[in-house]
Amino acid sequence: MRLAGSAAQANVARFIAEAADARTAQITAARPLQGGSIQENWQVDVTIHGGPFAGRHELVLRTDAPTGVATSRGRAEEFALLRAAHDAGVTVPEPLFLCTDPAVLGSGFYLMRRVGGTAAGHLIVKEDGRYGGPREALAERLGRELARIHRIRPARDDLAFLGPPPADPALAVVAEYRGHLDALDDPAPVVEWGLRWLELHAPPPPAAAVLCHNDFRTGNYMVDEQGLTGILDWEFAGWGDPHQDLAWFCSKSWRFGSFDREAGGLAGRDTFLAGYEAEAGASVDRVRVLWWEVFASVRWAVIAMQQRDRVLRGGERSLNLALTGRRPSECELEILLLLDGAEGGGGKA
């Protein structure tokens, strides 16, 4: 773990002092945060002496894990995305300092303000509403937040690393994930079939590309007893079809056992979509959402296999990653059910 030693903490403290235009900075507490599957996150308490940031700050330091997945963005790009979202009025932790010098901690990292609450999906979906308040209100709020994200449009100099938006987002993701699947050693015929169905039934390109979070789901936002405190994990963001984010949030994989509440395990999807439509001032194409929901199961199956290989082939010791390697079978079942329903077989999501 990169921040475990006193020397590493001293290096980070010196960086913070310089970035904050302060005399000195002292790390008073640092401990790893649980729950992240892709990157390494640390809870860091810092006291800054002098300068505009003088005082005590509760922060999160986010840096690279020992291994990763191919579609994950680097920390500098993620920091820029977080800043763009913050500037657009999205409820996100405030990004503060970015370090691109690997000599400080071994790889790049950034620091953001720590927000309160929990991101644990199995707690958030509980009907008692202890975390996040009333379920319907939280689902509607999240729909509005997603619409604010989608107001970020190309082209933007601060997000130039995203490149131009794809001419056809649907066919682009099919080609991308076929490549990821081909790079894996194990056969996955159901996922291959899902990709072929997606290719044959791809919707036309959207009227305009938007910034898609690409991992907007229960488990990637924080809530406390009052409501939403922050949307997290921007490492997969890119230009695309807004319906992709809507479908990912409604995917069965992210309902945490509350399968009858299709919007993230919180409420019916109509509540979530109504919040989105009210904020966006535009209607949602439900048929288009279904296509992207099939893709969501294909995508998660491939990512889960990549996570599994970080343990089996990359040598990373992580129970979380190893357990994720069991998820592709769930995705394969969901692909079969969704395609059965799409083809008129009567299957349900």
The Cα 134–Cα 117 span in angstroms is 15
* pLDDT, mean of residues 151-176: 96
Report the C-alpha gap between 175 and 191 in whole angstroms.
13
- Phi and psi of 228, rounded to 5°? -70, 135
Res. 69 pLDDT band, cuts 50 70 90: low
What's the count of helices (H) and strands (E) in the chain, helices before strands? 12, 9
CA atoms of 119 and 232, how far apart (whole Å):
9
Hey, is 64 helix, strand or coil? Answer: strand
User: How does residue 170 score in pLDDT terms, banded at 50, 70 and 90?
Assistant: very high
What is the phi/psi pair of residue 117, to 5°? 105, -155
Class of residue 316 by CB neighbours under 10 A (exposed 0-12, middle 13-18, buried 19+):
middle
For residue 188, which of 22, 300, 21 has the smallest C-alpha distance?
Answer: 300
Residue with tokens 């979070």: 213
Please report where in the chains the tokens 């349900």 appear, as a residue. 348
- What does the pLDDT read at residue 3? 84
Q: Closest by alpha carbon to 309, among 193, 183, 214, 192?
A: 183
For the segment 173-198, what is each residue's pLDDT rounded down to a tens digit?
A: 999 999 999 999 888 999 999 999 99
Percent helix / strand / coil, the chain, rounded to 5 = 45, 15, 40
Q: Which domains does the chain have, with CATH numbers?
A: 6-113 (3.30.200.20), 121-342 (3.90.1200.10)
Task: Report whether pLDDT(78) > 60.
Answer: yes
**For residue 282, what pLDDT is reported?**
93
- Report how far apart, in Å, the C-alpha atoms of 230 and of each of 112, 222, 240, 283 are: 11, 5, 22, 25
Rounded Cα–Cα distance for residues 206 and 167 (Å): 9
How far is it, in rounded angstroms, from Cα 19 to Cα 73? Answer: 23
Written as six digits, the tokens of 221 are 């936002």
The residue to which tokens 């194990």 are assigned: 186
pTM: 0.91
What distance in Å separates the CA atoms of residue 92 and residue 187, rounded to the nearest whole number? 39
SS3 category, 339: helix
Q: What is the pLDDT of residues 87-104, one digit of tens each?
A: 999 999 999 999 999 999
